[in-house]
Structure formats: C-alpha cells, structure tokens
A and B are shown apart, each in its own frame.
Chain A
Amino acid sequence: MAMHQYVEVIFGGIAQAAVYCIMAFGLSLVYGTARILNFAHGALYTTGAYIAWVLTAGYLGLPLLAAVPILIAVLFCSGVALERVIIRPLRRRPDWKMSTMMATLGLAFVLDNANLILFGPVAKPMPAFIEGTVVLFGTVISSYRLAVVAIALAIVVALELFLQSTRFGQAVRAVAQDMQGASQVGIDVNRVFAFTFGLSVVLTGIAGLLLAPIYLVSPLGGWEPFLKAFVIVVFGGLGSTRGAVIAAFILGLIEAFVVFQIGASWTMPVWLLTLLVVLMIRPQGLLGVWAN
C-alpha cells in the first residue's frame, strides 16, 4: 500500500470517528448521569438533520450560521421536554430501566415514521457548506471532511472543558459519580438530567447535520450511526465519555481499514466482532465501571 493510500484510509477513519464521537458522547453522558439508555438517539440524529434541512436548503433558505443557533435551541428544548414528559415520570417506578428502554424505543419509531410521513422516503440532499479539496501529505482530501473533523474535535474539547472546569459541568460529573451524594450537596439532580438530555439531543442533531452532506438525509438513516454510537459507548464503557472518545477513534480506524481491505458491507459484522472480543476481555468496556 502506497503512502498516500495510508493517509487516505487513516484520514477517512478519523473523519468518521470524529462524528461518531460527538454522537456517542451524548449517549454516554445521558447514561452516565441518568442511567438511561436512550434508544431514540438515532431517530433524534435523523430528526436533527431534517430540521437543519428545513431551515436551510429545504424550505426557509436560511444561511447556515443563522440556522445553527435555531437548530441548537430547538434540539435542546426537545431534549429537555423529552426528559420531563417521558423519562422523569418513569424514574419513580421499580422497573424504570425496562420502562425507559421501551419508551425511548417507542419514541424512536414515532420520530422515524413522523419523518417518513413529513418528508417522504426519498433522501434529501444537503449542500456542503465548504466546497473544494485540500492536499494533505500528498493526498487529496475534501475540505468538507476536514472541516467536519475540526468541528467535531472542537466540540469534544469544548465539552471536556465544560465538564472539568465549570460549576454546572462539575455538577453533571457529580451526578454521574454519585447521584445521592450530588443531591446531598444541594445539586438539583432533575435539572442535571434535563440538561444532559438537552445536551445529548443537541450533540446527536449536530452529528446528523455534519454527516448530512455526505450521506444525505433519509427517514431511517439514523439507525446505522446509532448502532455505531451504541457499540462505541459499550466499547468505551457505559457512562465514560472519555472511553467513548477513545473507542470512537479505534473503531473509526478499524472501519476505515475494513472498508479498504474487504469492503464496506463488512463494517457492521467486524464492529460486532470487535465489540464481542472487547466485552469478553473486559465486560465493562474500556473505561467503564459497574453501576451500583
């Protein structure tokens, strides 16, 4: 394999991984704090992409810079509402784990089919906001992909900074590490849950927006990235956002090499196999700890 092919493969892997990363980050954050597995995460990814499409190319024709703040606000509010209306009432039940899984799965199907009814089965094209190509180590790479990597990485860094050094970020980490302890120091645990839900919906929606120009926007398009985010989160350890970041890059690179060597359709089986091997060696994932 020539040098430039390596660069291409590795860069392709990093680009995929960067976007999976922000999607998995949200999934992991919600699990880490609220111990909820949100099965609607993929459907929310698609919904985010559709909202972006409606705001820009589809109907309103807004410039992207104007559309993004609106998108973020809408997604955040939907996440908060989702937690309030569906998750919070279920938390009081003895079987809340099963109930929340079923409710979010149900919601996923509602969103998918609502998108299908509203936008039809034909995938919507989304123009890339940056055109052209750049040359990196003698390899031609699309500027859009490079921009996606930069944006995704910036988001991850910003999130880590938020969690490590702001007061509310500390509160989020406190809830993740000990819910009762957090409550004891005066943290409003419900507010943290609502916030993390809002944030995770924003993250998955942004991932949907970033990948829309590459994969188009289609009603069931969220399941594959969701499944990948799933695998990343389990691989990295449920609830560990750092584990998710590391896992995203490992799996992104594996995917790139699988696509290059044996073909794109083998990605999922190889991901599953990787997951299986990891879980057999370390059932709690890379950086996960068992929930009590």
Chain B
Amino acid sequence: MVDDSTGRPGRAQADGASNRASSTTQILFFAVVAGLALAGVLIDDTYLRHVLILCFLWVIVAAAWDLALGYAGIFNYAQLVFFAAGAYGSGMLAAKLGVPPVIAIAAGGVLAGVVGLLVGLPCLRLRGEYVALFTFAIHLAMPPIILQTKQWGTGGNTGLLGIPPIELLGITFGPLDKLAWYYLTLAAATAAIYVIYFVVLRSRTGRAFVALRDSEAFAKSLGVSDFRYKLLAFTISAVITGIAGALYAHYTSVVTPKILGNEFFLLVMVMLAIGGIGRFPGAVLGAFIVTIANELLRSAGNYRLLLLGLAVVVTVLLLPNGIVSLQERFGRRGRRPQGAKP
C-alpha cells in the first residue's frame, strides 16, 4: 500500500519521526485533556470558562479544516459553510420543528456532511487553485442565499433565534451553565481531535490523504483512488465541522449570517497560520492562542481585525510552518531546510 517513505524525502522523515513519537504524543494529549478537565472545576470564573468553551469549539473547526487543507492538501475555503450548515440545520430542526437538540445536532452533522459531499463533488473535476476559487466563491455567496431563504425559516439578517438548550442525561445545558458546557465541549473537542489525528490520519485512509497531497500522480499509480479519498476528506471534515457548528448554535442559542462573515473566516485562518498546517498539534494550539488573543483584543475595536489580518501575513512570512515549527527548529537540529522549488 501507500508507504510514507514514498512521499517527499523531507516529509517522510517528519512522518517517520512522528510515528515513533506517536505513543508519547497520545499520552501527552490525554494528560492535557485531564489537566483541562481538572481546570474546569478550579476555574471559577464564568468569563474564563466561556473563553475556554469557545476554544474547545474552535479547536474542532481548526482541526477539521487542517485535515482537509493540511493533510489531504485540498484547497478548501468553504469550511465555514459546513459550520453554518451544522448550525442552521440543527438550530432550525430544534427551534422550528421541535426536534430534541441531541438528535438535531447529529442531524446537523449529517447535513454538513451532505453539503461537504456536494461541494466536494464538483471539486473532483477541478485542480489546485480552481478548488480554492470555487470553494471560496461558495463561501462568499452563502450570506445572500441565507437572506434569500428567509421564508424557509433561516431568520434572514436578524438570524435564527430561540434555539433550545441541549438536554442530556437529565442535565439541561442552558446558556448560563458554563460548567456543564465546559465539559461537554471539552469532550467534543477531545473526541474530534482523537478521531482526526489518532484514528483517521493514522489509518490507511490518512496515509492515502497524505500520499495524494504529496504526489497525486504517484499515489494514483499505486492505485489510490483520488475520487474516493478526496470525497472522504471533504465529508469527514464537513461532518466534524458541522457538529461544532451545531454545538455553537445551541450554546449561543442564536445563529446569524455573521458566522459566514469575514471575522469568523479570518479567525479560523489565523488559527491555522499561527499554529501550522498539517502538523499536529499546530491547528489545536493555534485555535487556543487565537481564541484567547481575540478575546484579549475585544477592547481594541476595529483594530482587532486589522491585527488578526496582520498576524496572518506576518506568521505566514516569518513562521512558515507555524509555532509548531519552533519546537522543530530549536528541538531537533540537523534537519536540512527544504530549499527546493516545487
């Protein structure tokens, strides 16, 4: 099958190293989760809990995007469309049709998966940048479409209001029950990261993603079906993002077209730029850093988005592979820098 050593030499080396360190990473990962679980009780500040809840939600989106963009190498810029599909789907089912929120969230994930599949299908016929253009066009065209479909219950410009709270095991996750939400989103983020980085990417499927990213022609010659795997990457990424969107909808109890605005798009992009694409735990760290920084910058008004944009440009220029590369740069010397042109 697809062997890691068939990729570009530099990457194969990195993958080999990460495989050896895999069990350590896994232990470290669960240690951090346990630490955060403990911190949930210790932190007795509603605002702080709220910020961490947002972190957990965005971690899911960033990780799912990382799967498609960083590992499968698909220039997909419609990630927030999946997020919106999950949020609107689940929110409308629960608020308008009275579907129990837990089922609505699952349905939101499925709906996002379907949207992912639909966006992915035309992309299979496209190459490289055409995918970027096409998916970004879909992203930009979404808000007008939501406004157009107001009569179907999307709420138009004012947004979808009154999304009911989740009820699970007799607990009602009201918007003010920060502790309950803290554990719920922590669990969701843990599951998402585990599934993406420790299950999918370590499986044959994950290796096929990377093989297609590094050399599509070569991977195809080994019998890797780009059709199947690209659609799979789109769909998995969309389902996970959709569930995050659905959770977000029930957490804030409101969904507006703002989730498809520049601000959210920029936020997730900065997370990947700062964290580092296609390198665990880059996207995860990026989500934490950016969410917290974004909260700290709340008082900066319009300067906040300016600074976020600047952060993207500067990190892309000065820190090519995000902050995770710092550890590589200072931790493991001796790796030759990749200077070759593609």
- Direct contact, A vs B (beta carbon within 8 Å): yes
**A residues adjacent to B (C-beta < 8 A):** 31, 35, 37, 39, 86, 89-99, 101-103, 105-114, 116-117, 220, 223, 227, 230-231, 233-234, 238, 265-266, 268-269, 271-272, 275-276, 279-280, 283-284, 290-291
- Judged by a CB distance under 8 angstroms, whether B333 is at the interface is no
- Judged by a CB distance under 8 angstroms, whether B93 is at the interface is no
**B residues adjacent to A (C-beta < 8 A):** 8, 10, 69, 75, 122, 125-130, 132-134, 136-138, 140-141, 144-145, 147-148, 262, 266, 269-270, 272-273, 277, 302-303, 305-306, 308-313, 316-317, 320, 338-342
Q: Tell me the minimal C-beta distance from B80 to chain A in angstroms.
A: 13
A268 to B137, CA, bound (A): 9
* A227 engages B122 (CB within 8 Å): no
A265 to B149, CA, bound (A): 11
* A109 engages B305 (CB within 8 Å): yes
21 A-B pairs with CB atoms under 8 Å apart are: A37-B132, A94-B10, A94-B342, A96-B342, A98-B75, A101-B75, A101-B132, A102-B269, A103-B316, A106-B273, A106-B312, A106-B316, A107-B309, A107-B313, A110-B309, A111-B309, A113-B309, A230-B133, A234-B130, A266-B148, A275-B134
Residue of chain A at shortest CB distance from B262: A109
How many residue pairs at the A-B interface have CB separations less than 8 Å?
136
A168 to B299, CA, bound (A): 50
Question: Could you say which of A101, A116, A227, A283 contacts B127, with CB atoms under 8 Å apart?
Answer: A283
* B138 engages A279 (CB within 8 Å): no
Q: Tell me the minimal C-beta distance from B337 to chain A in angstroms.
A: 10
A135 to B152, CA, bound (A): 44
* A230 engages B309 (CB within 8 Å): no
For B8, the chain A residues whose CB sits under 8 A away are 94
* B130 engages A92 (CB within 8 Å): no
* B137 engages A231 (CB within 8 Å): yes
Find the residue from B269, B302, B311 having the highest chain A CB count within 10 A. Answer: B302
Question: Could you say which of B10, B69, B122, B309 contacts A280, with CB atoms under 8 Å apart?
Answer: B122
* A108 engages B309 (CB within 8 Å): yes
For B69, the chain A residues whose CB sits under 8 A away are 98
Residue of chain A at shortest CB distance from B127: A290
Question: Could you say which of B126, B266, B273 contacts A279, with CB atoms under 8 Å apart?
Answer: B126
* A93 engages B320 (CB within 8 Å): yes
Find the residue from A98, A112, A233 having the highest chain B CB count within 10 A. Answer: A98
